[in-house]
Chains A and B, each alone.
Chain A
Amino acid sequence: MTRPRTLYEKIWDAHVVEQRPDGTCLIFIDRHLVHEVTSPQAFAGLRATGRTVRRPDLTLAVPDHNVPTTPRLDAAGNRLPIADVESAAQLAALEKNAPEFGIRYIDAVAPEQGIVHVVGPEQGFSLPGTTIVCGDSHTACHGGIGALAFGIGTSEVEHVLATQTLLLQPSKTMEVRVEGEVGPGVSAKDIILHITGVIGAAGGTGHVIEYTGSAIRALSVEGRLTVSNMAIEGGARAGLIAPDETTFAYLKGRPYAPKGADWDAAVAYWTSLATDPGATYDEIVVIDAADIAPSVTWGTSPEDVVPITGVVPAPDSFADPSKQTAAAKSLAYMGLEPGTRMQDVAIENIFIGSCTNSRIEDLRAAAAVIKGRHKADNVKWAIVVPGSGLVKAQAEAEGLDRIFTDAGLEWREPGCSACLAMNPDKVPAGERCASTSNRNFVGRQGPGARTHLVSPAMAAAAAVTGKLTDVRELMA
């Protein structure tokens, strides 16, 4: 009998093409997702060296980071020009490179267009047990369906395009087990914010995290994608959640998912990937789901998490001197005083979107809170950016767009938007944003912007009251 293995080890072992004497492995890549920001130089490299894409059939390109979220077509159905010349150049490069290298391409006005990490699972292009890469660190997202997925740099993008492989060192493994049932108003986002607060932004460094336990099993696929998306915020290269019936039900019938007898063979294989009884992890963290409250960040690191009922911490409440310095800097940037109740922090901007929280379930959760209410007067800018054109269409079919617009929120076209403010969607300097995205770094949502990471329901609650709010109070 073979040694018991974890989910990660099984996927890794199944993808080793060659092992080098120093332990580095040449790993086969099953799926390569390409967007416009990190690919132009990789395609230029291929062109300069006369190389081709080894497996165009395993590659899918879609623009997302730069695309405007305002209408892309005029009344006559013609494409509107993009004002930012650099954004336009990156988008044009992808539009030219994809056909030139024979890659599947979803263009900016296609109904399936969206954020690459929303599109992959939604199209069934991302599958359990596969290795998935993309030139974007939140590729970890696809771990939510049980794929080993991670972000890569531009040279690696070129390497994968040319060879369909990567040279990698195996990672250590960490199990984060969340047991029990979460309370009302607590979502997948709160679970992952809480986890990040517990393990710290560097807690998972060098590891691949497998999320286990009854609270994780109880999540929908959308929720699992949210959790795994932020594995990187805990320092891990990738996150994983074992595929199960929930996963299979989500994937069945998606355009690129296996069909017929292939489907049954695939499900049998995916089922065999679960971590064996007796397999060991390098680290184990156990979290009681009952301890998780609707959560919010106060600082400029994703580990700066407190329950919404909490207060802004004092820098000297941290034991580590370097954390004390970092916290003081964060508070200065965020314009917050220690001891301030999080629920007293006024918010001027709301962003509901990003690959963390822009799927249909996220929009439903936000709409449920907003319904029949209106945004507060001090909220100047509130946008809802669906993760893909298909999510947008589904939401519109359910009337969610009307709920948002009736409440004074803007309903936008899909893309990364204010998650990284590469397109015109930016939070003004010095203003706060309750954001459902994944990074609260200095300047992430625009120079000087102050980000508070929250769940979709919490963002909706902040829109209604104009300050960070415990969504449970609006649910009563």
Chain B
Amino acid sequence: MTPLDKVEGRAIPFGLKNVDTDVIIPAHWLKTTTREGMGRGAFESLRADPDNLFDSADFKGAPILIAGDNFGCGSSREHAAWALGDLGIRVVIAPSYSDIFSGNAVKNGILPVVLPQAAIDRLMEVAATDPVFVDLEHQTVTTQFQDRFAFEIDPFRKMCLLEGLDEISLTEKSDAAIGAYEARLDAEHPWMRPAA
């Protein structure tokens, strides 16, 4: 996973509340076999409108997305995070997320920043014309107009994102413990292995 520390650039002033994973990536995109290319299906219904934000000259490829409450609710599909990542989004800023979505986002190198609605409102205003700066190390979102919003993040998630560590690499550090567990299981309960 690509490490994430400072992200700066245009932020899509999307702002909608309760955006569910069906809006982020419609179900028919689930019938794929790769994670790549899913950006094409991201926000498909909204992007059917030729004047949509996502494909506008200003925001196409923008690395930051600003959204409303309860972003990523609905089904647990991880495709939502893949679609955002494939669209080029590295940071989402919203007042709240569904639990599953924020977990999936971090697993896929996307930072879900939680800020209060007042901060979101201000950032929406700035984002319309100017870039936004996100600093994960210092846990801040800033603008060139002296705005400075601090955010909280679980230290484990922060470390994973900063170091670009996926959970598998982390677990692989416990390889010896897993091996010891397997050996003990084979000794104590040999029947646990599938017969035949």
**Co-assembled chains A and B:** yes
Shortest CB-to-CB span from B11 to chain A, Å, is 26
- Tell me, yes or no, whether B108 is within 8 Å of chain A by CB: yes
Q: What is the predominant secondary structure among interface residues of chain B facing chain A?
A: helix
What residues of chain A lie closer than 8 Å to B146, measured between beta carbons? Answer: none
Q: Quick check: B178 and A269 within 8 Å, CB to CB?
A: no
**Residue of B at shortest CB range from A55?**
B182
Chain A residues within an 8 Å CB radius of B178: 17, 26, 28, 54, 163-165
Which positions 28-68 of chain B face chain A at CB distance < 8 Å? 30-35
**Residues of chain A contacted by B108 (CB below 8 angstroms):** 155
A204 to B178, CA, bound (A): 31
Q: Does B190 contact A (CB under 8 A)?
A: yes
Check B167 for interface membership: any CB of A closer than 8 A. yes
Pair A40/B33 contact, Cβ less than 8 Å: yes
Answer yes or no: A196 CB below 8 A from chain B CBs.
no
1/0 per residue, CB under 8 A from B, across A251-291: the answer is 00001111100110110010000000000000000000000
| Contact flags B153-181 to A (C-beta < 8 A → 1, else 0) | 00010000000001110011010011001
**How far, in Å, is A168 (CB) from chain B's closest CB?**
11
Q: Which residue of B lies closest to A21 (CB)?
A: B156
Q: Is A153 in contact with chain B by the CB < 8 A criterion?
A: yes
A55, A84, A158, A269: the one contacting B168 at CB < 8 Å is: A158
Q: Which of B11-41 contact A (CB under 8 A)?
A: 27, 30-35
Is there an interface contact between B172 and A262, defined as CB atoms closer than 8 Å? Answer: no
Interface membership of B192, Cβ < 8 A: yes
The interface residues of chain A lying within 8 Å CB-to-CB of B167 are: 155, 159, 167
Q: Please state if A159 and B31 are interface contacts (CB–CB under 8 Å).
A: no
Which A residue's beta carbon lies closest to that of B193? Answer: A57
Q: Across the interface, name the chain A residue whose C-beta is closest to B155.
A: A22
Which residues does chain A contribute within 8 Å of B35, judged by CB atoms? 41, 44-45
A130 interfacial by beta-carbon distance below 8 Å: yes
Which chain A positions have C-beta within 8 A of B185? 28
CA distance A266 to B191 in the complex (A): 7
Instruction: Give a binary string over A450-471; 1 marks a CB under 8 Å from any B CB, 0 the rest.
Output: 0000000000000000000000
Q: Are A154 and B78 in contact (CB under 8 A)?
A: yes
B156–A163 touching, CB < 8 Å: no
Query: Is there a chain A Cβ closer than 8 Å to B107's Cβ?
Result: yes
* In the complex, B196 has a CB within 8 A of chain A: yes
In the assembled complex, the Cα of A26 lies from the Cα of B172 at a distance in Å of 11
Measured CA separation A257–B31 after assembly (Å):
34
Give complex CA distance A443, B107 in Å.
29
A155 to B167, CA, bound (A): 9
**How far in angstroms is the closest Cβ of chain B from A30?**
6
Question: Which stretch, A2-10, A70-78, A87-95, A182-190, touches the partner chain B?
Answer: A87-95
Is B189 on the interface with A (CB-CB < 8 A)? yes
In the complex, the answer to whether B30 meets A17 with C-beta atoms within 8 Å is: no
A367 at the interface (CB under 8 A from B): no
What is the bound-complex CA distance between A137 and B100, given in angstroms?
Answer: 13
A315 within 8 A of B: no
A86 close to chain B: CB less than 8 A: yes
Check if B194 sits within 8 Å of A87, measured CB to CB: no
Q: Which residues of B contact A216 (CB under 8 A)?
A: none
Chain B residues closer than 8 Å to A22, beta-carbon distance = 156
* A382 at the B interface (CB under 8 A): no
* Contact (Cβ within 8 A) B104 A258: no
Cα A443 to Cα B26 in complex, Å, equals 12
Shortest beta-carbon distance from B172 to chain A in Å: 7
Q: Does any Cβ of A come within 8 Å of B76's Cβ?
A: yes
Which residues of B have CB within 8 Å of A51? 168
A155 contact from B104, B156, B190, Cβ within 8 A: B104
Q: Check A422 for interface membership: any CB of B closer than 8 A.
A: yes
CB distance from B177 to the nearest CB of A (A): 5
Closest to A15 in B: B181
Decide if B195 is an interface residue (CB 8 Å cutoff). yes
In the complex, chain B residues whose CB is within 8 Å of the CB of A151: 76
Assuming A22-B156, A89-B33, A269-B189, is B174 touching A257 (CB within 8 A)? no
B73 to chain A, nearest CB (A): 13
Nearest opposing residue in chain B for A158, CB measure: B168
Partner pick for A124 among B27, B156, B172, B195, CB 8 A cutoff: B195
Tell me whether A26 and B33 are in contact (CB under 8 A). Answer: no
Give the residues in chain B near A262, CB-CB below 8 Å: 190-191, 195
Min CB gap B109→A, angstroms: 11
Contact partners of B192 in chain A: CB under 8 A: 30, 127, 130
Query: Which residues of chain A come closer than 8 Å to B193, judged between CB atoms?
Result: 57-58
Q: Mark A186-220, 1 if CB is under 8 A from B, else 0.
A: 00000000000000000000000000000000000
Within 8 Å of chain B (Cβ to Cβ): is A365? no
29 A–B contacts, CB within 8 A, in A order: A17-B178, A18-B177, A26-B174, A26-B177, A28-B182, A31-B194, A37-B31, A41-B78, A86-B32, A130-B192, A153-B76, A155-B78, A155-B104, A155-B167, A159-B171, A162-B168, A163-B168, A163-B171, A164-B178, A167-B167, A167-B171, A256-B195, A256-B196, A262-B191, A263-B191, A265-B189, A265-B191, A422-B31, A443-B27
Known: A31-B194, A40-B34, A422-B31. 15 other contacts (CB 8 A): A17-B177, A37-B31, A40-B32, A57-B193, A84-B31, A86-B32, A87-B31, A90-B33, A127-B192, A130-B192, A153-B104, A155-B108, A163-B171, A163-B172, A262-B190
In the complex, the 4 A-B pairs of residues with the closest C-beta atoms, listed nearest first: A258-B191, A262-B191, A40-B33, A86-B31
